[in-house]
Structure 1
Amino acid sequence: MHLDRILVENVLGLRSADLALRTPITLVAGPNGAGKSSLGDAVSMALLGKPRRVAKKKDLAQLVSEGAKRGRAAIWADGEQMGEMKLPSGDHGEHLPAGAQYLPYVLDSTLFATGSADDRRRLLFQLTNCKATPDLIEKRLLELGAQPDKVATIKPLLLSGFPAASEDAKARATDAKGAWRGVTGEVWGEVKADGWEPELPATSVDQQDLANSQNQLQQVEQDLADAQEALGGHRANAQNNAQRQAKVAELVPEADLLARRTVKLEEDRKRQLEWSQKLIEAEQAASAATAMKCPCCSELLVMEDGKLMKLPTVPGADAAEAAKRVAEYEGYLQSAMRAIDNSLRDVASSEAAVKQIKELKAELAAEVSAEAIETAEQAINELRQQRDALRAKVEALQEVARAIADRQAVIDKAARHHADVVAWSLIGDALAPAGIPAKLLGEALAPVNDSLAILARLAKWRPVVIGNDMALTYGDRAYGLLSESERWRVDTLVALAIAQLSELRMVLLDRFDVLDLKSRSQLLGLLLELAKIKAIDSVVLCGTLKEPPAKLPAAIASYWIESGAIVQPSTSQAA
């Protein structure tokens, strides 16, 4: 996969980059924070369509360079566009070559080392085209002596991988051990279970004694059930009585207010009548202000319903003063009416409380004394003891009877369960990582480790080896014990091996500046040799440098990133 062009616009810290890749190796350098890692993220997103540095699509806008509204990353390879991703929409288009499933491992060299052992194992099986089909596994299991029927049962699970099938077989072995224990009453052991037989019963069973004990047990269990039901009823009554009495106590203060509230209601009604009368008188007196004198008899007349009527005489009333008091009396009357409404509500609440108290007292059940409950509890405890003793006796007699009658059947059943344990354990162990997968993995690891050995020799670095347990070592040291620069060497060699075996023949390597000058020279020597023998098509190498590099071989193009933009190679470098 020969990269032709990388175009990035406004992605993270990289605002502008348009790289025409005409050499096998492209070196992209610059100061810290210039946008080098952003270039790697952009390439990955363009090819894989998955966001980097954020987990959710709604956060894609955070990947657009500050101040910009849209971003874009596009990759061309082998004469056509391979992938493009737009931000913040997340729209993605791709036209990827064969082996694209391995792209994540060549775009992020740390991915293999940080993955789980199972993920690494699956990758290597696919990468080396190592066959692990259910039919092949079935054949190998049968060669190990596994039972055909059990192999047929486990075979469909092989489609999900070795771990699932192995765990299922081991779980079935555990179930068989449990079944063996259920038959024998003992914990399964490989030696003990082989040829196990129960001891012969020391005594015989009196059938009449067994029948009498069963009848007694049945009667005691019935008596116990009746006693527990009665005690439950007593406790329920006591609890209900307590709840009713508590409710009564809660209602008493409300009920006790009934007499006082009734008196207040009557007083409020009297005040309403008084203010009604005063309002009528004031309104009548106020009518004098608009009265007309009769021309015949000099009587005062008022217009009511279209008719002239004689003005009622209100003793001592002054018309002007009465007119002023009408509004005041209306307010007093409305206040009195509101007081009546409130008093009616309060009286109704107290009457309801009185009624509810009567109902609750009528519902009170006969009180059960604490002594009666204690006596019932003691009787129940005694019945339980009798029941337990009789139950133990009946079970012991029944066990002896069963042991005598079923001894050979128990022996045969235990032998079958033991055979199942052995058969399922054989399959579970064979499918475990140290079994058939280890043999297959050895076949898969050989070409990978061979490739790693060649790469290490070309780089003049210590050998990198992937063990059967999927652990990585650099020389004789485990990956987890390595320094940062040593881990970078391991990750780089693994990524290059994957690039070769997958036939992608391209890698993106970031942070090469963790290497010292000698190791950087060794790295470039390795990459140049791989490019020379056509073992690699494109390498994008990113890292921090103080200044643009000079005097690079013709197979290496150099680009300088500064303030989020690519600076094209100088004339001397381009030459």
Structure 2
Amino acid sequence: MKLSRLSIKNFLGVREADKPLTHPVTLFAGKNGAGKSSLQEAVRMALTGETVRVGLKKECGQLVTEGAEVGFVEVEIDHKIRAALRLPAGKTTLTENYVLPRALPHVLDAQHFTRLGCNERRTFLFSLMGLNAGRAEVQRRLLEKGCDAQKVEVLMPLFRSGFDAAHEWAKDKARDEKAVWRTLTGEAYGDNKAATWQAKKPEFERTASADLPHRLSALDAELAETHQHLGGLQADHKRYADSAQRLAEWREKGSRHTYIADTLARDQAELKEWETKVATLKALNFAKNALPCPNCDTLLALKDGGLHAVPFAEGVEENLGRLPEYEAAVYRLKQAVANEARALADAEAAMKAMAELELALGEKPDETVIHAVREQLEKLKNDRSTLAEKRAAYQEAERQVTQADERTAKALSAHESVRAWSAIADALAPKGIPGEMLAEALTPLNERLEDSAAITEWTQVVVTKDMHVQAGGRSYALLSESEKWRADAMLAEAISYLSKIKLVVLDRFDVLDLKGREELLTWLDSLAQGGEIDTALIFGTLKALPQSFSQNIATHWLEKGVIVEFKEAA
């Protein structure tokens, strides 16, 4: 980036400066208050838009030189592009749609890099070296480190928020998995312990329980058979008892057979007598109205449509009056005979059935056999209960073993997740992939710094992996003012070189002693000769301009804000 002309008017201490830049290195010198720093800040503000010495754009009117109302700065780039600043508005413009390099603030202000925080330095160097810290690149590096592919895929969306967010999320996931492990085990997590942890299992011999189902099946079969046998015996016993009861009933009925037969015969004979009496009375009943024959005095009565002689019988009327009584007696006797006939039939049937049952009844079942079978059944039940309890105990032990194995597997899975997430977190930590990528960015930077130290014979400057700046092994904060200036100058040049801007602006070079100034100019001359720098602007307080220079270096004297011809002091 070659600056070809500077035109500045009424900017802080610069009243008017309009100079073409014809040499790669241009030195602006003058006494204190001559406007050197104002000139440097004017260039920086025009090119970057960063306000200097004021905090807000609306305060830019304060940058106008005292006594003036307006000011401007124009910086010409490559003889065709102009970056301009107008005061008091503080507005900057750039012609030709030119895009200024992102690293430009670091070469216009040599202390810019060391003022950044470590994270900001890291971000800038990534950008400077064109390192891609995007999702695809980080994913590739994680997989190359052997990180779990599935977990890496889950993590990828977090990179929208940057390395730190993804790193913290992976650490949180590892902590979550440790909590899962603690919940499963009830113990404090330890990496070595977790790798070999196993849940406690009850001790039992699987072979001893292997035949229990078969033995239970055999017992169930024997129980069923014994139940059936006892049921048969009890059914036989009940049938015998029922038959014996019926036999007793039938014997009782059969034992009355003779009595019933005698009673029936007696009642049948008596019935016959009474039936005869009733028939006799009914035969005389028509004679109640008999009249004597007028011819022979024979009693005649009408019967069946004809007259019949009625034998004279004394007391017929009195006997006819008892006919209802006789008929009632006949009725009662008929009922008794019918009942006795049925009872006799029942007795005869009972005697017949009794004879048949006595033949079929057989021997009385043995109670001792039933008792023995009952005892055997109870023993089988007790044996089965004992065996079932034993099997239940084995099943519970097997369940506990299965649960223990599952807990062991889950705990191991949680431990493996802890290790997987921890590996990802470690890879995303500052010393992991970011550190590796940073090393890729730092290597060319530190190599350039090493080259600069060799040329200038200044103390070597190093940017460490944790983004601290050191010179000669000492922290930047511990360096002297001149040591810090040398470090800033070499850092600015290294950034200029790596970004291919080839521009560096160095103010207050008068902090160096004469030897240091000579080393600086020799270094810049060497860079210009090698085509490694297009423009170097140097500002410093001097009593006089140096007399002997390379053809690559131009010098200008500033006095009261104006570039003038240098005159020797009186």
Give the TM-score category using the shorter length: 0.5 to 0.7
Amino acid at match of 1:3: L
Deviations 1:67-117 (A, max 9, x none): 322221111010123311212212211257566101010001111122122
Identity of aligned residues (%): 44
**Matched residues in 2 for 1:196 and 1:63: separation?**
72
Deviations 1:226-272 (A, max 9, x none): xxxxxxxxxxxxxxxxxxxxxxxxxxxxxxxxxxxxxxxxxxxxxxx
Amino acid at match of 2:475: A
For the 8 Å contact 2:506–2:537, the answer to whether it is kept is: yes
**Matched residues in 1 for 2:176 and 2:52: separation?**
46
What is the TM-score normalised by the length of structure 1? 0.60
Deviations 1:453-487 (A, max 9, x none): 22222212222222222222223323222111111
- The match for 1:170 is 171
For the 8 Å contact 1:506–1:536, the answer to whether it is kept is: yes
**Matched residues in 2 for 1:184 and 1:33: separation?**
75
2:493 to 483, 491, 496: 496
Shift of 1:167: 2.2
For the 8 Å contact 2:81–2:98, the answer to whether it is kept is: no
Deviations 1:515-553 (A, max 9, x none): 010010000000111111111011110011123433333
Residues 192 and 34 of structure 1: CA distance in aligned 2, closer, same or farther (over 3 Å): same
What is the TM-score normalised by the length of structure 2? 0.61
Deviations 1:287-324 (A, max 9, x none): xxxxxxxxxxxxxxxxxxxxxxxxxxxxxxxxxxxxxx
Shift of 1:417: 2.8
- The match for 1:450 is 447
Shift of 1:408: 5.4
**Matched residues in 1 for 2:183 and 2:527: separation?**
65
- The match for 2:143 is 142
Q: Secondary structure at the match of 1:122?
A: helix
Shift of 1:183: 4.0
For the 8 Å contact 2:61–2:90, the answer to whether it is kept is: no
- The match for 1:71 is 71
**Matched residues in 2 for 1:53 and 1:551: separation?**
35
1:533 aligns with 2:530: yes
**Matched residues in 2 for 1:74 and 1:418: separation?**
65
**Matched residues in 2 for 1:59 and 1:200: separation?**
79
1:543 aligns with 2:540: yes
Shift of 1:196: 3.3
Question: Where in structure 2 are the equivalents of 1:88-487 lying within 5 Å?
Answer: 88-95=88-95, 100-197=101-198, 410-487=407-484
Residues 176 and 15 of structure 1: CA distance in aligned 2, closer, same or farther (over 3 Å): farther
1:52 aligns with 2:52: yes
Shift of 1:185: 4.2
**Matched residues in 1 for 2:72 and 2:59: separation?**
16
Q: Secondary structure at the match of 2:26?
A: strand
Q: Where do 5+ consecutive residues of structure 1 fail to align? A: 202-401
For the 8 Å contact 2:46–2:74, the answer to whether it is kept is: yes
Q: Secondary structure at the match of 1:101?
A: coil
Shift of 1:488: 0.7
Deviations 1:182-206 (A, max 9, x none): 44444322123334345679xxxxx
- The match for 1:267 is none
Amino acid at match of 1:515: L
**Matched residues in 2 for 1:83 and 1:99: separation?**
10
Amino acid at match of 2:144: E
Q: Where do 5+ consecutive residues of structure 2 fail to align? A: 203-398
Amino acid at match of 2:530: I
Amino acid at match of 2:518: S
**Matched residues in 2 for 1:132 and 1:437: separation?**
8
Q: Secondary structure at the match of 1:100?
A: coil
Amino acid at match of 1:417: A
For the 8 Å contact 2:508–2:539, the answer to whether it is kept is: yes
**Matched residues in 1 for 2:100 and 2:121: separation?**
16
Amino acid at match of 1:503: K
**Matched residues in 2 for 1:504 and 1:197: separation?**
63
**Matched residues in 2 for 1:87 and 1:551: separation?**
38
For the 8 Å contact 1:12–1:64, the answer to whether it is kept is: yes
- The match for 1:507 is 504
Q: Secondary structure at the match of 2:120?
A: helix
Shift of 1:140: 2.2
**Matched residues in 2 for 1:403 and 1:110: separation?**
69
Shift of 1:180: 3.1
Deviations 1:422-444 (A, max 9, x none): 11110010111212222232222
**Matched residues in 2 for 1:523 and 1:488: separation?**
11
Residues 510 and 403 of structure 1: CA distance in aligned 2, closer, same or farther (over 3 Å): farther
**Matched residues in 2 for 1:54 and 1:404: separation?**
76
Residues 182 and 57 of structure 1: CA distance in aligned 2, closer, same or farther (over 3 Å): farther
Amino acid at match of 1:559: H
**Matched residues in 1 for 2:521 and 2:26: separation?**
11
**Matched residues in 2 for 1:193 and 1:60: separation?**
65
For the 8 Å contact 2:106–2:495, the answer to whether it is kept is: yes
**Matched residues in 2 for 1:32 and 1:406: separation?**
85
Q: Secondary structure at the match of 2:18?
A: strand
Amino acid at match of 2:466: D
**Matched residues in 1 for 2:62 and 2:417: separation?**
58
For the 8 Å contact 1:17–1:565, the answer to whether it is kept is: yes
For the 8 Å contact 1:109–1:494, the answer to whether it is kept is: yes
Cα RMSD for the two superposed structures:
2.7
Q: Secondary structure at the match of 1:487?
A: helix
For the 8 Å contact 1:99–1:503, the answer to whether it is kept is: no
